[in-house]
Amino acid sequence: MRKRVASLVSNILNPFAVSLAAVLVLSFESTSRAADALRWSLILVAVGLLPVFSATVYLARTGRVDGVLVATRRQRTSIYLLSIACAAIGYAVLDYVEAPVMLRAAFAGGLSGAILFTIINLWWKISLHTAFTAVLATILVVLYGWIATAGVVAVLLLAWARLVLKHHSPAQVVAGALLAGLITVAVFNLFGLP
């Protein structure tokens, strides 16, 4: 039963789903009009999320990686490099179209995290699940204060799930969450965000 619950938590809070949630939160927080928020969401998904997701699905279907949620550390390198490219292009596009500062900060943080995690991945398998969930939790706390602590609970629950499933060590889940949260806070501060 524990493994079934852990698997469910891990699948629901996967990096792609959590990224989509972060895109929606940031887009709606960046503008007062729902139509603008939806437009920004579509742009963010198109330049940041969709290319990485599509490539990962393609690699999984052709047997080049072990699944959409790539478990083998060495198989992650090409996905990390694509993530770096998408974050850099996304940031350039957002800067060119003068997107709200919060959206540019998100892509700058994504680029910083992708570079750092790519380097770490050369030697060690850090937890992307906890990293992405920690980014969302950090964004929620920064934007809404400690009333958003449910996000922190989600990080803890996901860390438990990744450990139960034996996909990561305690150090890997803690490092993923802490580094991602610190990068988010640092980048938001650099951009003068709350």
> What is the reported pLDDT for 194?
78
Triad 155, 175, 144: Cα angle to 5°: 40
> What is the reported pLDDT for 19?
97
> What is the reported pLDDT for 77?
94
> What is the reported pLDDT for 158?
96
> What is the reported pLDDT for 146?
85
What's the rounded Cα separation, in Å, for the pair 129 and 131?
5
What's the rounded Cα separation, in Å, for the pair 45 and 90?
10
Delimit the domains of the chain by residue range. 2-190
Shortest CA distance to 174 belongs to which of 160, 189, 153, 188?
160
Answering whether pTM is above 0.85, one says yes
The pLDDT profile of the chain, 194 residues, written as one tens digit per residue, is 999 999 999 999 999 999 999 999 999 999 999 999 999 999 999 999 999 999 999 999 999 999 898 989 999 999 999 999 999 999 999 999 999 999 999 999 999 999 999 999 999 999 999 999 999 999 999 999 988 888 899 999 999 999 999 999 999 999 999 999 999 999 999 999 97
- Supply the DSSP string of 133-177, one letter for each residue: HHHHHHHHHHHHGGGGTHHHHHHHHHHHHHHHTTSS-HHHHHHHH
> What is the reported pLDDT for 149?
86
Side chain identity, residue 138: T
Q: Residues 83, 52: contact at Cβ < 8 Å?
A: yes
Residue position matching structure tokens 């920690």: 134
The token duo for 132 is: 């992405």
Q: Residues 168, 73: contact at Cβ < 8 Å?
A: no
> What is the reported pLDDT for 147?
87
Residue 5: its H or E element? helix 2-12
How far is C-alpha 10 from the chain's CA centre? 14
